[in-house]
């Protein structure tokens, strides 16, 4: 029980510190803070649903799809025109829905995720090489490492808007998704249209990952989509509490990542991921959950 | 019992020439049977006899390779959404899921919301009384209602999922090995609950051991991929078990 309150205090304190951080660093704008709050809202929400459905492996390979989609969108827009963001979102969504369709047709979740990872990793090697020739190595490395410090105010506002949207949709489907997580078959017998919830969840995972890739980077996106939900599942009761706890954990990690990254002069995305790993390991060591 | 009440609780399940193949493996072969409620029906058979498959076929979760299923004259083959209007199903589940954070209350409440409210199901208070009634019927103490499913004992978990099957007032309940992970005392208590439910509903139970429910059972079905026998408990169990179900064991032990 006490774990909930410790997490709440940690989240409130670290978020408050994050909000006042731009006053201490002249180069840091509020765009970064908004983007990190949006990222925590989106990843925290999706991560709780991923944990409830046990879709860890599929969620883990989604950033691979986004890593393929973003440079692909750049190259496609160079050749054919069109908005890069929209193309990247559509490519990621198409890949994830294809994997979801395969799972729905009886292919095991791990097998579908393995195929997706193999396809996207191989394709990414080719596409990233082409993109690097046209964009330069710095742009490609920012996709992989992420850099929340470079986010402008308008991008941060978009990130926050996406975070709020993903949170509200997740909130509206959380109970059903957690219920499906216990038994997909039973949920179908009860009359729930499980495919609708499956594809909504896949869409949320794809959108969150592709939009947030530039903020937290490919590497940390993989961690943020998995660990907040897994951590919240250790001590929460009920779907809504788990969702909110997952967001609180993601928010605390993002705030500590930003503050720690600035203090230590290292990339905040790395500190975000590391904070989550330490938090999960600590809770397991102290046998919470 | 009034005629209206009788009509509401009467159900007819007809399985017609059902074959189920998992690739080259025959799980069920030409199974035909007809069940009517209320009362308890026990489906007995060894591991791999197709008991769970038969339940999933009736529940509409598995579409048979050949054959049809009708409930009250309506064809429901492979259509869990339609079957769910008549039949509730409890799968074989020996252990509570470790990863889920759902509480007992939220689990049953969500089932009730799904069955009675339209999305976004913002008024769970409307189903509160139904949830309380179902949890009380299965004898789950109030102190466990706020507990995570993952923290329940095997017996309490079976009661929680049994409470879920009572939501919606289905006329038939399919229970796949509901007593498997329950201690002897719990078995007696659960058997009494099932017997009480069987006064108004058709309760179809699969099991390896018919004894806990034997005194309440009106029909026994012996299954070993094919339908071996079907009839009242006394005649079927005397005539067929164990030769029909466990031929290798009988050959080796001489009985």
pLDDT digits (tens, 9 = 90+) for A81-118: 777 778 888 888 899 888 888 887 778 878 888 889 89
| pLDDT exceeds cutoff 90 at A39 | yes
- Domain span at A113: 2-285
The per-residue pLDDT for B121 is 73
The per-residue pLDDT for A67 is 84
| pLDDT exceeds cutoff 80 at A136 | no
3-state class of B10 per DSSP? coil
Summarised one tens digit per residue, pLDDT across range B192-248 is: 999 999 999 999 999 888 888 989 999 999 999 999 999 998 888 877 656 666 666
Pull the structure tokens for residue B185: 């005392």
Rounded distance between C-alpha atoms, residue A126 and residue A144, angstroms: 15
Give the CA distances from residue A203 to residues A23, A97, B10, B92, B203, in Å, rounded to whole numbers and listed in that order.
37, 8, 44, 32, 40
Summarised one tens digit per residue, pLDDT across range B157-173 is: 889 989 999 988 889 99
3-state class of A274 per DSSP? helix
Q: What is the four-CA torsion angle of B79, B84, B90, B91, rounded to 10 degrees?
A: 10
Q: Is A132 exposed, middle or buried (0-12, 13-18, 19+ CB in 10 A)?
A: middle
CATH code of residue A54: 1.10.3470.10
CATH code of residue B17: 3.40.50.300
For chain B, list residues whose CB is within 8 angstroms of any CB belonging to chain A: 56, 59-61, 80-81, 83-85, 87-89, 91, 97, 99-103, 106-107, 110-111, 113-115, 120-121, 146, 148-149, 164, 168
- How many domains is chain B built from? 1
The per-residue pLDDT for B213 is 92
| pLDDT exceeds cutoff 70 at A219 | yes
3-state class of B85 per DSSP? coil
The per-residue pLDDT for A26 is 76
Summarised one tens digit per residue, pLDDT across range B27-52 is: 999 999 999 979 999 999 888 899 99
% of chain A at pLDDT higher than 90: 36
Pull the structure tokens for residue A247: 């967001």
Give the CA distances from residue A264 to residues A34, A210, A256, B154, B203, in Å, rounded to whole numbers and listed in that order.
21, 28, 11, 50, 66
Closest CA to B137 of B201, B213, B55, B205: B201
Report the chain A residue with the minimal C-alpha distance to residue B84.
A189
* pTM as predicted: 0.85
| Cβ neighbours of A238 in B, within 8 Å | 101-103, 106
Rounded distance between C-alpha atoms, residue B231 and residue B218, angstroms: 8
The per-residue pLDDT for B253 is 59
Q: What is the residue-averaged pLDDT of chain A?
A: 87
| pLDDT exceeds cutoff 70 at A138 | no
% of chain B at pLDDT higher than 90: 52
The per-residue pLDDT for A1 is 56
Asked whether the bond before B242 is cis by omega within 30 degrees of 0, the reply is yes
| pLDDT exceeds cutoff 80 at A31 | yes
- Domain span at B165: 3-253
**Do B100 and A52 make contact, defined as CB atoms within 8 angstroms?**
yes
Highest mean pLDDT among A41-50, A60-69, A79-88, B119-128: A41-50
Find the DSSP H helices in chain A: 2-20, 30-53, 56-80, 84-104, 109-135, 137-145, 153-182, 184-189, 194-224, 227-235, 239-264, 268-285
| Cβ neighbours of A192 in B, within 8 Å | 114
**Do A185 and B102 make contact, defined as CB atoms within 8 angstroms?**
no
**Do A241 and B81 make contact, defined as CB atoms within 8 angstroms?**
no
The per-residue pLDDT for B181 is 75
What's the pLDDT band for B251 if we cut at 50, 70, 90?
low
Q: Which residue has the tokens 């209602």?
A: B145
Picking from B80, B99, B110, the nearest residue to A179 by CB comes out as: B110
Highest mean pLDDT among A144-148, A246-250, B95-99, B110-114: A246-250
**Do A51 and B99 make contact, defined as CB atoms within 8 angstroms?**
yes
The per-residue pLDDT for B2 is 33
Higher pLDDT pick, A269 / A229: A229
- Distance (Å) from the alpha carbon of B168 to chain A's nearest alpha carbon: 9
Closest CA to B161 of A192, A50, A190, A195: A190
- How many domains is chain A built from? 1
The ipTM is 0.83
Higher pLDDT pick, A147 / A187: A187
Picking from A54, A176, A237, the nearest residue to B148 by CB comes out as: A237
Which of B22, B101, B168 is the best substitution to test chain A (most A C-beta atoms within 10 A)?
B101
């Amino acid at each position: 029980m006490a774990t909930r309150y410790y997490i709440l205090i940690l989240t409130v304190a670290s978020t408050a510190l994050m909000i006042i951080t731009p006053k201490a660093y002249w180069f840091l704008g509020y765009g970064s803070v908004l983007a990190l709050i949006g990222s925590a809202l989106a990843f925290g929400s999706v991560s709780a649903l991923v944990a409830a459905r046990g879709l860890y492996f599929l969620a883990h390979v989604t950033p691979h799809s986004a890593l393929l989609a973003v440079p692909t969108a750049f190259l496609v827009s160079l050749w054919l025109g069109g908005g890069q963001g929209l193309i990247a979102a559509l490519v990621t969504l198409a890949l994830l829905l294809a994997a979801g369709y395969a799972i729905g047709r009886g292919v095991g979740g791990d097998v579908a995720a393995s195929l997706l990872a193999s396809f996207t990793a191989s394709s990414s090697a080719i596409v990233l090489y082409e993109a690097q020739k046209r964009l330069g190595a710095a742009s490609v490395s920012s996709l992989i490492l992420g850099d929340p410090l470079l986010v402008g105010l308008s991008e941060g506002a978009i990130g926050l808007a996406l975070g709020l949207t993903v949170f509200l949709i997740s909130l509206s489907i959380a109970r059903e998704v957690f219920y499906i997580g216990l038994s997909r078959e039973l949920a179908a017998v009860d009359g729930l249209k499980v495919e609708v919830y499956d594809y909504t969840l896949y869409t949320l995972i794809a959108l969150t990952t592709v939009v947030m890739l530039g903020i937290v980077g490919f590497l940390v996106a993989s961690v943020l989509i998995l660990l907040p939900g897994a951590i919240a599942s250790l001590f929460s009761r009920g779907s809504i509490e788990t969702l909110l706890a997952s967001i609180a954990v993601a928010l605390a990690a993002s705030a500590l990542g930003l503050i720690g990254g600035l203090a230590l002069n290292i990339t905040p995305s790395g500190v975000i991921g590391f904070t989550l790993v330490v938090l999960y390991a600590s809770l397991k060591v102290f046998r919470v959950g | 019992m009034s005629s209206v009440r009788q009509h509401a609780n009467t159900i007819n399940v007809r399985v017609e020439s059902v074959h189920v193949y998992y690739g080259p493996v025959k799980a069920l072969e030409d199974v035909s049977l007809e069940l009517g409620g209320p009362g308890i029906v026990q489906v007995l058979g060894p591991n791999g006899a197709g008991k769970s498959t038969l339940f999933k076929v009736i529940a509409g979760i598995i579409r048979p390779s050949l054959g049809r299923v009708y409930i009250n004259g309506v064809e429901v083959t492979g259509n869990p959404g339609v079957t769910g209007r008549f039949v509730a199903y409890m799968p074989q589940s020996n252990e509570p899921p470790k990863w889920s954070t759902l509480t007992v209350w939220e689990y049953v409440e969500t089932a009730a919301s799904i069955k009675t409210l339209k999305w976004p199901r913002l008024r769970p208070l409307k189903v509160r009384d139904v949830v309380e009634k179902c949890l009380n019927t299965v004898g789950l103490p109030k102190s466990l209602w706020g507990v995570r499913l993952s923290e329940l004992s095997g017996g309490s978990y079976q009661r929680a999922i049994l409470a879920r099957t009572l939501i919606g007032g289905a006329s038939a309940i399919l229970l796949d090995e509901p007593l498997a992970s329950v201690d002897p005392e719990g078995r007696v208590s659960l058997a009494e609950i099932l017997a009480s439910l069987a006064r108004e509903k058709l309760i179809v139970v699969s099991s390896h051991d018919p004894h806990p429910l034997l005194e309440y059972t009106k029909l026994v079905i012996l299954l070993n991929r094919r339908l071996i026998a079907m009839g009242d408990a006394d005649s079927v169990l005397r005539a067929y078990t164990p030769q029909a179900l466990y031929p290798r064991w009988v050959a080796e032990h001489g009985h």
